[in-house]
Amino acid sequence: MKKKTVCLCALLLALTLLLASCGGRKMDLEGVNSAVSGGAAGDMEAPGSTEKWDQESWDGVVGDAVRPQTSLAEKIIYSADITLETVDFDSAVAGVEALLSQYGAFLESSSVSGRSLSDAYYDRAVYRHAEFVIRVPVGAFRDMTAALESAGNITSRRVYTENITERYYDTQSRLDAYRVEQERLMAMLEKCETVSEMLEIESRLSEVRYQLEALETTLRNWQNQVDYSTVRVTVNEVREYTRVVEAHRTYWQQIGDGLRDTLENIGDFFKALFKWFVVNLPALLLIAALLAVVAVLILAFLRRRARTRRAPSVRRDDDTPREE
């Protein structure tokens, strides 16, 4: 009985030691797994992750460099649409063209539309208009868009940013994969023994080369847009600059604005009427002379007709026999 009790106690002690050792090992393994998982989570952060930018933000360009880079260079496309008005159209166009050499930009396209001589002669509300598409280095993007204020009165300015970092490096990865496949196909082509295998490999090789060219073209175009921002400038010729009105005008201020606009419109009407009268005075004199001649002829015709009607009645009175 004592032997059985001793054996039972020894067995329980062995089981207790075994469970304690397993628990310690389990805790150690959990600590190791947590450390490994923590380290892996830290290492598996997206290397190209970037913070989101506001589309209208100017913070992307700082001096001559773009926002601080992560492990993978960000690929951001900047563009701007600017509309300005000027009372001196030739000087404004020359000012825009002068900014090209100043900031190392180049002109991608331009167009200028003018008004005809009759428009200028009769003071019609048709003025000259110019459009420019300018490519400027990304480092000078902000400075050049700010310098356009010297060319005229800016009435509209919109700035856009497009972050293509993820798409760019995805396309780059696809390009690398196709290059590896091309090398393998070239190696297989040298070892193929039958014509059918050769034709099959060459068919796949042509498809891979086509994809390589398309992806390389896409990456070049994206890189060009990243390196050189696009600025679209519209220049409008006006008689006078747009008057800036306060956002909140009182009731009497609004009445004063309306009265001033009405008087200006009346003055413009009478000035245009007087100009029209002076410009067309020779034609008006000629028309008046022709009308006078026509009136004289009509009066002469009516007088002759009246005399003709009176003449027969006088002769009938003379032919009547007299009484003796």
**What CATH number has the domain bearing residue 137?**
3.30.70
Q: What is the pLDDT of residue 321?
A: 54
Strands 65-66, 153-163: pairing is unpaired
Determine the average pLDDT of the residues in 99-127: 76
Residue 156 domain-assigned (yes or no): yes
DSSP states along 254-285: HHHHHHHHHHHHHHHHHHHHHHHHHHTHHHHH
In 3-state terms, what secondary structure has residue 196?
Answer: helix
**Sign of torsion over alpha carbons 313, 314, 317, 319:** negative
Residue 283 domain-assigned (yes or no): yes
Q: What is the pLDDT of residue 318?
A: 52
Q: What is the pLDDT of residue 239?
A: 82
Residue 21 domain-assigned (yes or no): no
Tell me how many domains the chain contains.
3
102 & 141 share domain:
yes
Residue 242 domain-assigned (yes or no): no
66 & 160 share domain:
yes
Residue matched to tokens 């600059």: 241
111 & 135 share domain:
yes
What would the pLDDT profile of 131-157 be if each residue is shown by its tens digit? 999 999 999 999 999 999 888 899 999
158 & 66 share domain:
yes
Which comes out higher in pLDDT, residue 290 or 23? 290
Determine the average pLDDT of the residues in 297-307: 86
Which comes out higher in pLDDT, residue 21 or 184? 184
The model's pTM:
0.56
H or E stretch covering 317 = helix 281-319
Pull the structure tokens for residue 76.
């951001």
277 & 211 share domain:
no
What would the pLDDT profile of 168-220 be if each residue is shown by its tens digit? 999 999 999 999 999 999 999 888 888 888 999 999 999 999 999 999 999 99
Residue 82 domain-assigned (yes or no): yes
- Whole-number average pLDDT of the chain: 76
Helices and strands in the chain: count of H runs, count of E runs: 8, 7
Residue matched to tokens 């989101």: 52
97 & 109 share domain:
yes
141 & 277 share domain:
no
pLDDT band at residue 34 using 50, 70 and 90 as cut-offs: very low
Residue 187 domain-assigned (yes or no): yes
Residue 271 domain-assigned (yes or no): yes
147 & 262 share domain:
no
H or E stretch covering 155 = strand 153-163
Contact 66, 142 (CB under 8 A): no
What would the pLDDT profile of 221-248 be if each residue is shown by its tens digit? 999 999 999 999 999 988 887 776 666 7
139 & 203 share domain:
no
Strands 228-237, 76-86: pairing is parallel
118 & 233 share domain:
yes
pLDDT band at residue 6 using 50, 70 and 90 as cut-offs: very low
Residue 301 domain-assigned (yes or no): no
Q: What is the pLDDT of residue 144?
A: 93
115 & 186 share domain:
no
* Ranges 18-27, 109-118, 227-236, 290-299: which has the least confidence: 18-27
175 & 203 share domain:
yes
Q: Which domain holds residue 278?
A: 252-291
